[in-house]
Structure 1
Amino acid sequence: MTELSKTFDPAEIESRWYAHWEGKGLFRPERPGAEPWTIVNPPPNVTGSLHIGHALDNTLQDILTRHARLKGKDALWVVGTDHAGIATQMVVERQMAERQEKRTDFTREEFVAKVWEWKAQSGGAITRQLRRLGCSMDWANERFTMDEGFSKAVLKVFVDLHRQGLIYRDKRLVNWDPGLGTAISDLEVETREVNGKFWHLRYPLADGSGFISVATTRPETMLADMAVAVNPEDERYKALIGKRVKLPITGRLIPIIADEHADPELGSGAVKITPGHDFNDFEVGRRAGIEARDMLNMLDAKAQVTQVADGLIPADLIGIDRFWARKQVVERLEAEGFLERVEDRVIQTPYGDRSGEVIEPWLTDQWYVDAATLAKPAIEAVTSGKTRIVPKTWEKTYFNWMDNIQPWCVSRQLWWGHRIPAWFADDGRIFVAESEADAQAQAGEGVALVQDPDVLDTWFSSALWPFATMGWPEDADPTLHGRYPNDVLISGFDILFFWDARMMMQGLHFMKDVPFRTLYLHGLVRAADGAKMSKSKGNTVDPLGLIDKYGADALRFFMAAMESQGRDIKMDEKRVEGYRNFATKLWNASRFCQANGIGGSATLEPPAANAAVNKWIVGECVKAIQSVDLALAELRFDAAANAIYHFVWSQFCDWYLELIKSQIDDETRAVAGWVLDQVLVVLHPFMPFITEELWHALAPRAHELIVAQWPMVDARAIDPAAAAEVDWLIDFLSTQREVRAEVNVPPGARPALYVLGHQTVAGSADPATFPDALIHRFDRYRATINRMGRVDVVTFLNTGMRFDLKSGERESRVGETPLLGSGVQFVVGDDTYFIALEGTIDLDAERARLAKSIAGAEKERDALAARLGNASFVERAKPEAVEKARADHADKAAEAERLAAALARLG
């Protein structure tokens, strides 16, 4: 037990306690016989640094992990990082470029060695930052998606899926990133609106009978056109179906085909079909009987024009960039009379989210997973409730994507990553095996083999995270010693398809069970104005800067308190500062307790109590714990945080500690110490550092707070009679304070107080019905009311009794009718009170002040109402501006109402 310093310094305690927890192995799951509880973190990129989204995601995971540990469970939080194929290769190549080196200056093995060297030196930044946030992860078993054990799992999954016909090689269109030189997934493509053109072209009929008009946003691709499509029901073109057109520039003859893809209402109703460079055209081509191997591809891997099979592209166009080719093609079409007109148009353009390059649909051979087959059990798992998605509203999105899932392209043209375990023979045969030796055994002696140079999509390996991190496939236990399925997964909704759905598919296929019982999807952390954060906008927030300024506990509590299921979080630094103030308030309350002989509790059960105020605080503490328990069970992080916040700030600090100041006896010390212990335990998952510090400062402890016992509350500890008694006292004191403040009674003034009597139905006071019980309440709490309510004398009009709260003396003045003069009335419960204000304040001046304030509030209220009543404002203004106007209107309306009530009280 150490004396607490006067000031709360988060930085000093955070590094000390984290090193202590990790050094003693307190994050390890080492409770034999205890119920296992498991969560895995979404592995951050090894190249990453802590951003505000990480702070939210990992705070929520840590709250659940620490809560499970306190509940006596054998809690395991698996930690690790993802090798992040594209991102990591980009980082290393960028560093090489600074030394005027290129990847291709080295062998593949030499380059991969450089990446491993980079990881050893710089790849641990994100894990060090997670420690600063307070994440109680099992660092002793940190995993990496390319460590030896994990890589074995990846190889086994690929080989098994291939053997089962669920991985295959196919020629299809992919999203090709010319900047990175690799295929990327649909999920890694971001669509931007770009000002572009819509070119209307005239394709001459081969028989010389006329032209057919087509329109395109990519005129350069006409070099690889293979058909013109018209709708089979379009009367304008029925007679042309089956005829051919002669392509401008190349002179190639292509057919006019019928396909419902052509919309008669769009443009001319005829569309050019380039199956090698457009996803829709690819499907049209296949319906027309064009095999993928026969589709023309007019671009190379750098998106430069290359010759097509018939060799008809002019030589001077070969080797030029696609956008320069566009300019050249348009100029030729115009010069030869094939350009009808050009329209300006905003075009939805795909970009690579990492390279920033315009994505090119490109025809190439890749490896694919039969995602549709794997998706079926994953759909059924959510339908049946084996896995519940929270919030439930995300189920519809999940089902929609899974029901319409496309083949998953899993090969990437990189050097960093899990190399695809496939070997090619000269005769075109492919051998898939977990090792080259196994592949050679399949091929036979003397057959030369070359391994596929591609690597697997990063998400392919991370889809195995819930079971490969537990020792699969070496561990034969199908439940992996009770760690599979994991209890819960927490992730941002933005990786529902990148990662969560793919874990469902792979987990069910290989482990025959769901990977997690609950999937919790949180929103995004947005800028204060509701905009999405981005570096280009300059509105990102550095969580480490907030930790430096306010402490990790304050940032964590902000994240929890603001996390409301299904909603994004608006970043508000003032709120973070407010939770730092909350931590300071708890610190100062603990110092008060320590100074008054209140220490840690010796019992888990609440101590016996006779005083109503002690019975009340025990009951309120029990109710707060019940609220937190219920909220965490329902994954209502905001409700859990707010329940403990309001109990600590209002009931414990503002009221209980104030109410007991004049009566700190042994019973009160025992009760206060017990309640403070419960506060520290329940608050620990949210604010681990300050609670651990206070836990040890208040008493010698046999163990750290992180492994203490969660309170087992009993509703029988709630005493309704004591609660009613103290609730009345709090209601009286707080109402009286508010009334005094409203009419500007000086803080030090002690005007006379009169109890007029019971409220009648009509709202007036009836002295004849005034209860004796109220007199006894004033008697029991006279010292508190005198001190906190600044009341020296109270007069009960129905009895004529004058009660001196300072001395306790009573004086009967039956028959006298006191001249109350001017003052203010208020009601508490059924009783009406009157504060005499003659000589205390200038009543006329106060009435004038209130009237002026009312007029000002009403004017602002009405102006805001007029603005909100203007349909143009509501429709055209930014949503956040409308929301602010509504909030301001509500505030001004409430202010006007409150001030009017105060004026009415003055009479």
Structure 2
Amino acid sequence: MDKTYTPASIESHWYKQWEQAGHFRPGGSGDPYCIMIPPPNVTGTLHMGHAFQDTLMDVLTRYHRMAGYNTLWQPGTDHAGIATQMVVERQLNAEGGDRHALGRSAFVERIWEWKARSGGTIQNQMRRLGASVDWTRERFTMDDGLSEAVQAVFVQLYNEGLIYRGERLVNWDPVLQTAVSDLEVESAEEQSSIWRLRYPIVGSDDWLVVATTRPETMLGDTAVAVNPHDERFQSLIGGRVRLPLVDREIPIVADEYVDPAFGTGCLKITPAHDFNDYEVGLRHGCTPINILTEDARINANAPATYQGLDRYEARDRIVADFEAAGLLDGVDPHRLMVPRCDRTGVVVEPYLTYQWFVDLTRDTQADGRPGGAREITRPAIDAVRSGDIRFIPENWTKTYFNWLEDIQDWCISRQLWWGHRIPAWYDGDGNIYVGSDEADVRARHDLAPEVELSQDEDVLDTWFSSALWPFSTLGWPEETTELHTFYPTSVLVTGFDIIFFWVARMIMMGLKFRGEVPFREIYIHGLVRDSHGAKMSKSKGNVLDPIDIIDGIDLESLVAKRTTALMQPQIAPTIEKQTREAFPEGIAEHGTDALRFTFASLATTGRDVVFDMGRVDGYRNFCNKLWNAARYVLMNCEGKLDDINEASMAYGTAERWIVTRLQRTAQTVNEAIQSYRMDLAAQAIYEFTWDEYCDWYLELSKPALQGDADTPHARGTRYTLVRVLETLLRLVHPMMPFITESIWQRVAPVAGIKGETIMTQAFPAADPERIDADAEAEIDWLQRFILGIRRIRGEMDIAPGKRLPVMLGNAGPLDQSRVERHRAELDFLARLESIRILDAGEEAPESALALVDELEIRVPMAGLIDRDAELARLAKARGRLAEDLARVRAKLDNASFVERAPADVVQRERDKLAEAESALARTDEQIARVERL
């Protein structure tokens, strides 16, 4: 093996080997195990969320593959309607072109060309991450098979009355000029105002004052609402006001929705431009009036004065006109949540428009026949209530139920060119015909050739096709072998932010079209945040690229990368300063395995995953530790175990102990992975590898390997070294595939194990027969003895290499026999000169003391240290401790600090005080001990 672990030299080599050899394909004689990848956008790049999620799925996949399951991790990408169309449209605009001038057919063809040329970025990055997906089965939400599935589902739902076209309020992006889903809308608090507008009361000289954050929408007001219990307005309910600037009378209605404490207690109702107002308007029979065009300008439903104005230009004009008319009651500063499209950054409008919907709210169809919405939603609720589907952690079940019980109809149409075009056609009279294509429509409805048909211009919401992902990727609507083998799938691994948008819809569609749940378990992981707990975003400049962590990146390149990606260029200087402070030397190369192990260690049951580069540094060191341990094992075992014969080997306590600890670790890791606690599995692996195998057993093996190299004990030690390491590599492989494969290829032959790859070896299972509790107790005693000696060295500043005389007091028969059995290990690891057991009642000279239960371990001080030099050292150390103690006490004696500082800060100072007092007391004890010499 190379002396130095260099991840770049092994990772690409092994991934190519695995993929070319077909090791990612289903196989094994066990039960089917299947994970469907949440399809990333075809435009995307691998961000930290992808890397975290893919690591978790790969751990599960590799684990079950090694456990003998017939394992499939199904890959694929989503066509990402809005994102992809924006990418190609920007390219076209940069060339001086325009999609409308190019035409729909040519524009879509250009997107397909872009996809073929540039759409594979994230797949290649997944390879860098070690994702063992079956690339031979890769799917795309707009490939022929999945498109056929989409058409089949749409046609069936339409024929059953579960898809309809209607005029409803939707989220509307005025730049893209399309409806967008809630997931594509990000709301953030921004500074704005509340305008108080006077609406004259009909038949009175008085007025009502309404409070609004969007005065431009008053052009479409259809009512003013007050709370029915608000005594201020009881006499006005049922009356009317005159809508200023429009000169239209509108009613005063009573509705529980109105909060009497907000604003003036009077709420203007604009059903066409506010979701809550829409519901209020429905309750009171108000006809919505849309006053905006698709690009958010004032339309012909408003007075001519305002027609054609941008919505914010109209706002300023309307406020000015109210003030000129004496009807502006006042303006107050106000912070409010503003919804913006995450793609364009533009403020999203509630907009009344004709769209296609899946009926998720009615219990009966429009004509009164039974069926309707509950045919879709109720089974999805029941599947989780009955336990057919299990959420992990279980608390997400409540979120799932809350969303489904309060569900709204699903808007599935988008005003785009890229996507699955809605399979609906219209004749000259506006009649709707639905079918897989025009020929199918004509055949279904027996339409004459002279009847002209035009297809709907809209495309389907991307979430519609991805809702079919668990069965469409397996070949549905064909009844394929893969469909019967792997559906229902085993587990869905996803974030909590898309439980409704994707998870619930897959459950609905799976039950509707397959009659079975799409997956048995749903593992909900947290979202990756930076080391300060903030969401990673380009606008904040705190994004980390996982490939940069794997390969490393210099500071200047990192600064350029973070600042050029900003949506708000004006904050670039701040981001540059933060980057230079956080990464003064850039980011060093860590390799994929260190990053993956970091992700596994962070996979707790919480909502957030706080990512800290310090942990990746630590796990890079862990990789080095494993690499160096393997080099030690190979140097001592390679060529010396050619004849593996149990009869020629003898095993000491240390061998029985490390094998026992390996069994317990294997049990913990298996249980942790099966319960989706990757963090606990990683912790168990780390502690066994670093603390027990490397720090203890490798050291305990050295006395046995010195001297005669071919004794039964030496052979048993070598065999244990290599077999435990080989087993450990298999335990670690799902989390760190590259380094384990590279080492295993060298270790397996020495251990007498044959095989092409570690990937297809069995995952270690605990063997209760190999657990030796007596060996554990014995080595525990030995460790505490050695650690006691090391603590004395540290406290008394004795050189590590200096051999020490030791006296043992209160040594029982078991202690004495253990000393005799482990004398070689004690002399070697504790660097002892001699051991003398004190007689009962014998006084020991002045010495440093360590205890192992009742056993007293004494190291006589006389002759070991320079008394005066040690007293000087301790006095200097005591002075520093006394200064620290005084500083902390002064801070805590300051009443202002204790009262005003956060509770956790005060507690930290109190902890420091206790620690300083304890350290000072220990130092005083050491000074007294040395003074007595």
The alignment's TM-score, normalised by the length of structure 2, stands at 0.88
Task: Choose from 328, 337, 342 the match for 2:317.
Answer: 328
Matching residue of 2:460: 456
Q: Does 1:369 align with 2:358?
A: yes
Report what 2:517 is aligned to: 514
Q: Is the 8 A contact 1:189 1:352 kept in 2?
A: yes
Aligned to 1:525: 528
The structure-2 alpha-carbon separation of the partners of 1:603 and 1:300, relative to structure 1 and needing over 3 Å to count, comes to: farther
Q: Amino acid of the residue matched to residue 730 of structure 1?
A: Q
1:609–1:615 contact (8 Å) kept in structure 2: no
Q: Is the counterpart of residue 465 in structure 1 residue 469 in structure 2?
A: yes
Question: 1:13 pairs with 3, 10, 13, which one?
Answer: 10
Pair 569,598 (structure 1): closer, same or farther in 2 beyond 3 Å: farther
Per-residue CA distance 1:103-127 (angstroms, 9 max, x = gap) = 1111111000010011011100000
2:506 — aligned with what?
503
User: Which residue number in structure 1 is paired with residue 711 of structure 2?
Assistant: none
Change (3 A) 1:894 1:165: farther
Any residues of structure 2 matched to 1:513-662 within 5 Å, and which? Answer: 513-548=516-551, 549-598=589-638, 609-662=650-703
- The match for 1:749 is 802
3-state SS in 2 of match to 1:192: strand
Aligned to 2:364: none
Q: 1:712 corresponds to which residue?
A: 765
Q: Distance between the aligned counterparts of 1:566 and 1:867, measured in 2?
A: 37
Alpha-carbon contact 1:607-1:670 (below 8 Å) kept:
no
Match of 1:25 in 2: 22
CA distance in 1, matches of 2:461, 2:123: 23
Name the SS for the 1:660 alignment partner: helix
Contact residue 606 and residue 674 of structure 1 kept, 8 A: no
Residues 851 and 502 of structure 1: CA distance in aligned 2, closer, same or farther (over 3 Å): same
Counterpart CA distance in 2 for 1:17 and 1:501 is 38
Partner of 1:810: none
Corresponding residue number in structure 2 for 1:342: 331
Q: Deviations over 1:653-679 (max 9, x none)?
A: 111111111213111111111101110
Q: Does the Cα contact within 8 Å between 1:607 and 1:674 map onto a contact in 2?
A: no
1:426 aligned to 409, 425, 428, which one?
A: 428
Deviates more, 1:374-383 or 1:327-336: 374-383
Structure 2 counterparts to residues 50-61 of structure 1, below 5 A = 50-61=46-57
Paired residues for 1:377-388 under 5 Å: 377-388=379-390
In structure 2, distance between residues paired with 1:285 and 1:266: 19
Aligned partner of 2:300 among 307, 310, 331:
307
- Per-residue Cα deviation, 1:153-174 (whole angstroms, up to 9, x for no partner): 1111111111122111121111
C-alpha distance in 1 between matches for 2:674 and 2:647: 24
On the 8 A contact 1:459/1:499 being kept in 2, the answer is: yes
**Match of residue 864, structure 2, among 834, 837, 840:** 840
CA contact (8 A) 2:271 2:278 kept: yes
Q: Is the 8 A contact 1:601 1:677 kept in 2?
A: no
Cα offset for 1:904?
Answer: 3.5
Q: In the alignment, which residue of structure 1 is the partner of 2:79?
A: 83
Residue 210 (structure 1) shift = 2.9
The answer on whether the counterparts of 1:854 and 1:900 sit within 8 Å (CA) in structure 2 is no
Bigger drift between 148-157 and 419-428 goes to: 419-428
Aligned-residue CA RMSD (Å): 2.4
Distance in 2, matches of 1:361 and 1:210, equals: 32
Question: Alpha-carbon deviation of 1:888?
Answer: 7.2
Determine the C-alpha separation between the residues in 2 that align with 1:423 and 1:150: 21
Q: Which residue pairs with 2:392 in the alignment?
A: 390
C-alpha separation between the residues in 2 aligned to 1:851 and 1:69?
Answer: 59
Q: Output the CA distance in 1 between the equivalents of 2:498 and 2:107.
A: 30
Report if aligned partners of 1:743, 1:846 keep a CA contact under 8 Å in 2. no
Change (3 A) 1:57 1:792: same
Offset from partner CA, 1:714-745 (integer Å, 9 cap, x none): 11211122222122111111222122112211
Choose which of 280, 286, 289 in structure 1 pairs with 2:285: 289
Worse-matched range after superposition: 229-238 or 737-746: 229-238
Distance in 2, Cα, partners of 1:356 & 1:122: 25
**How far 1:392 moved relative to its partner?**
1.4
Q: 1:888 to 1:435 in 2, by over 3 A?
A: farther
User: What letter matches 1:755 in structure 2?
Assistant: L
Percent of counterpart pairs with the same letter?
47
Contact 1:41–1:77 (CA under 8 A) maintained in structure 2: yes
8 A Cα contact 1:34 1:73, kept in partner = yes
Structure 2: gaps of 5 or more residues? 362-373, 552-588, 706-713
Counterpart of 2:217 (choices 217, 221, 231) is: 221
- Per-residue deviation at 1:287? 1.1
Contact 1:850 1:903 in 2 (8 A): no
1:851-874 alpha-carbon deviations (Å, 9 max, x no partner): 335435544665676799835322
Counterparts of 2:912 and 2:786, CA distance in 1 = 25
| Residue of structure 1 equivalent to 2:155 | 159
Look up the SS of the partner of 1:550 in the other structure: coil
Preserved CA contact (<8 Å) 1:227 1:254: yes
User: How far apart in 2 are the matches of 1:432 and 1:849?
Assistant: 89
Q: Does 1:436 align with 2:408?
A: no
Q: Distance in 2 between matches of 1:602 and 1:345?
A: 82
SS of equivalent to 2:804:
coil
Relative distance call for 1:131 and 1:831 in structure 2 (3 A) is same
Structure 2 residue 812 is the aligned partner of structure 1 residue 771? yes
Distance in structure 2 (CA, Å) of the matches to 1:181 and 1:132: 38
Residue number in structure 1 paired with 2:561: none
- Paired amino acid for 1:402: L
SS of 1:268's partner is: coil
Structure 2 counterpart of 1:697 = 746
Question: Which has the larger displacement, 367-376 or 79-88?
Answer: 367-376
Alpha carbons 2:656, 2:775 under 8 Å: kept:
yes
Deviation at 1:846, TM superposition (A): 4.8
Give the aligned partner of residue 273 of structure 1: 269
**Cα separation, partners in 2 of 1:498 and 1:894, compared to 1, 3 Å:** farther
AA of the residue aligned to 1:301: E
Q: Distance in 2 between matches of 1:893 and 1:547?
A: 41
Q: Does 1:408 align with 2:457?
A: no
In the superposition, relative to structure 1, how do residues 423 and 863 fare at CA in structure 2: closer, same or farther (>3 Å)? farther
Work out which of the residue numbers 820, 827, 834 in structure 2 matches 1:793.
Answer: 834
Note the C-alpha offset of 1:436: 1.3
439-448 or 405-414: which moved more? Answer: 439-448
CA contact (8 A) 1:586 1:648 kept: yes
Amino acid at match of 1:172: R
- Bigger mean CA offset, 572-581 vs 860-869: 860-869
Cα deviation code 1:4-25 (max 9, x no counterpart): 0111110010000000000101
| Structure 1 pair 828–845 and aligned structure 2 pair: CA distance change class (3 A) | farther
Other structure's SS at 1:754 match: strand
Q: Does 1:828 align with 2:855?
A: no
Q: Does 1:855 align with 2:882?
A: yes
Q: After superposing the two structures, state which structure 1 stretch, 538-547 or 712-721, moved more.
A: 712-721
- CA 755–589 in structure 1, closer or farther in 2 if over 3 Å, else same: same
C-alpha displacement of 1:263: 3.2
Tell me which of 726, 751, 774 is aligned to 2:779. Answer: 726
Q: Of residues 34, 41, 59 in structure 1, which corresponds to 2:37? A: 41
Partner of 1:667: 716
Q: What is the deviation of 1:348? A: 1.8
Aligned-partner SS, 1:199: strand
Cα distance in 2, alignment partners of residues 840 and 414 from structure 1: 84
Q: Distance in 1 between matches of 2:403 and 2:648?
A: 56
| TM-superposed deviation, 1:284 | 1.5
